């Protein structure tokens, strides 16, 4: 019996939101089971990092989207799709990508929540100014944020605070589940939207998406400060945009399907690029470390072992050594080898 390709395509199309749901919820639970609330709140105390993160995501990246549209002379629907991505920050994929890249996981979760919450109020204010006639329903964006992300994260944090042993045992399961969900989302997005990707060849949309992703990562990296673990997180968080919010606005406010196609194309490109980059990043960091990583020294020339603070006092000597030193001090000159 011949295979009904239309029916198979419909099944795969419906599987995309299911796989996304599994990934997002399991990822939030896994992050909550491995972190404490104070660890997530701690990055907010760094006002410089918070300020640069907000400026990078809500000012520089939207300006970059407009500049790329003008330089490449994109068709209006493609430019609108790119602009929607520029103003929609806070990707649910960020904590998982940060975990793969061995970045600062607490900062990744804090950044994701901060950007998502601000996006809910930012889109209704800014988009009508940039695109007259656009209406944004913040309730629809906020509902997915609360139900699919904040609620599972809060439950997992509470479980980890009350029963840390149970949380430690359950975390590997949700880590594996979120990894499987991420791979399914990437694979299904490519298969289901393959024709849409092909349809934009020759329009400059793919080049614009690649430039947009590279620009976002560079801006986030530069704004991340001196710490490499925070730099890679902010780079990933700035390059990976809030696809769900952009799709909601694009589907509700525009009749031209090319707007949504542009959002989908950039979403696929960002995952295809940033996922391997996250896996490759720890290898780059390890190669850049000193070959004499096992020995550290301070300005006074003292040496210490990894993990031991060079400013901490020396450990107390062995009891036998203390007795020998006491005997040397009390003995007359010429005794005990003095």
- What's the distance, Cα to Cα, between the start and end of the chain in Å? 100
Q: What is the CA radius of gyration of the chain?
A: 26
- Tens-of-pLDDT digits for all 338 residues of the chain? 445 667 777 788 788 888 888 888 998 899 899 888 898 999 899 999 999 999 999 999 999 999 999 999 999 999 999 999 999 998 888 998 998 988 999 999 999 999 988 998 898 888 888 887 777 778 877 887 788 888 999 999 999 999 999 999 999 999 999 889 888 888 888 888 888 888 888 888 999 999 999 999 999 999 988 888 899 999 999 999 988 888 888 877 788 888 888 998 998 899 889 988 888 877 666 665 544 444 433 433 343 444 444 444 455 555 555 565 665 566 555 554 44
User: Do the Cβ atoms of 88 and 110 come closer than 8 Å?
Assistant: no
Q: Assess whether 83 and 163 both reside in one domain.
A: yes
In this prediction, residue 4 carries a pLDDT of 64
User: Do the Cβ atoms of 216 and 61 come closer than 8 Å?
Assistant: yes
Q: Assess whether 261 and 322 both reside in one domain.
A: no
140: number of CA atoms within 13 Å, CB side?
13
| Six-digit token string for 58 | 């809500």
Q: Assess whether 237 and 302 both reside in one domain.
A: no
Nearest to 57 by CA among 236, 262, 210: 236
* Residue-wise pLDDT tens digits, 205-260: 999 999 999 999 999 999 988 888 899 999 999 999 988 888 888 877 788 888 88
In this prediction, residue 87 carries a pLDDT of 93
Separation CA 31–CA 93 (nearest Å): 12
Separation CA 86–CA 125 (nearest Å): 14
Name the DSSP letter for residue 45.
Answer: G
In this prediction, residue 254 carries a pLDDT of 82
Q: Assess whether 58 and 156 both reside in one domain.
A: yes
Separation CA 257–CA 252 (nearest Å): 11
Q: Assess whether 219 and 83 both reside in one domain.
A: yes
Q: Assess whether 77 and 213 both reside in one domain.
A: yes
243 is a domain residue:
yes
Q: Assess whether 194 and 320 both reside in one domain.
A: no
DSSP, collapsed to helix, strand or coil, labels residue 91 as coil
How are the residues of the chain apportioned to helix, strand and coil, as percentages rounded to the nearest 5? 75, 0, 25
What CATH number is associated with residue 9? Answer: 1.20.1530.20
Number of structural domains, the chain? 2
Q: Assess whether 310 and 203 both reside in one domain.
A: no
150 is a domain residue:
yes
338 is a domain residue:
no
User: Do the Cβ atoms of 188 and 15 come closer than 8 Å?
Assistant: yes
In this prediction, residue 327 carries a pLDDT of 57
323: CB partners within 8 A, 6+ apart: none
Q: Assess whether 305 and 174 both reside in one domain.
A: no
Q: Assess whether 278 and 302 both reside in one domain.
A: no
Separation CA 82–CA 154 (nearest Å): 32
Question: What SS3 string covers 261-294?
Answer: HHHHHHHHHHHHHHHHHHHHHHHHHHHHCCCCCC
User: Do the Cβ atoms of 249 and 127 come closer than 8 Å?
Assistant: yes
In this prediction, residue 322 carries a pLDDT of 57
Residue span of the structural domain in which 72 resides:
5-288
Q: Assess whether 157 and 304 both reside in one domain.
A: no
Q: Assess whether 156 and 11 both reside in one domain.
A: yes
In this prediction, residue 333 carries a pLDDT of 57
| Helix and strand totals (H; E) in the chain | 16, 2
| Other Cβ atoms closer than 10 A to 116 | 25
């Amino acid at each position: 019996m011949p295979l009904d390709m239309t029916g198979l395509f419909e099944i795969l199309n419906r599987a995309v939101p299911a796989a996304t749901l599994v990934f997002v919820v399991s990822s939030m639970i896994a992050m909550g089971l491995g972190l404490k609330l104070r660890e997530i709140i701690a990055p907010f105390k760094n006002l410089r990092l918070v300020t640069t993160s907000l400026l990078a995501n809500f000012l520089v990246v939207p300006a970059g989207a407009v500049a790329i549209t003008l330089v490449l002379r994109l068709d209006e629907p493609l430019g609108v799709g790119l602009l929607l991505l520029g103003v929609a920050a806070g990707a649910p994929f960020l904590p998982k990508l940060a975990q793969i890249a061995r970045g600062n996981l607490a900062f990744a979760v804090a950044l994701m929540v901060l950007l998502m919450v601000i996006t809910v109020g930012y889109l209704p204010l800014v988009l009508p100014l940039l695109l007259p006639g656009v209406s944004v329903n913040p309730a629809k964006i906020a509902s997915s944020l609360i139900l699919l992300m904040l609620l599972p994260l809060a439950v997992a944090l509470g479980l980890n605070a009350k029963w840390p042993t149970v949380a430690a045992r359950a975390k590997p399961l949700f880590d594996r589940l979120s990894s499987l969900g991420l791979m399914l989302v990437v694979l299904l997005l490519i298969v289901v939207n393959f024709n849409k990707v092909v349809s934009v060849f020759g329009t400059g949309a793919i080049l614009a998406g690649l430039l947009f992703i590279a620009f976002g990562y560079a801006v986030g990296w530069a704004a991340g400060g001196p710490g490499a673990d925070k730099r890679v997180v902010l780079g990933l968080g700035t390059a990976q945009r809030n696809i769900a919010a952009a799709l909601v606005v694009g589907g509700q406010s525009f009749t031209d399907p090319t707007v949504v196609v542009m959002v989908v194309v950039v979403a696929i490109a960002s995952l295809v690029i940033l996922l391997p980059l996250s896996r490759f990043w720890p290898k780059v960091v390890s190669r850049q470390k000193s070959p004499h990583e096992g020995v550290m020294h301070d300005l006074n020339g003292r040496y210490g072992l990894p993990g031991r603070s060079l400013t901490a006092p020396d450990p107390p000597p062995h009891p036998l050594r203390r007795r020998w030193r006491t005997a040397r001090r009390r003995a007359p000159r010429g005794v005990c080898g003095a």
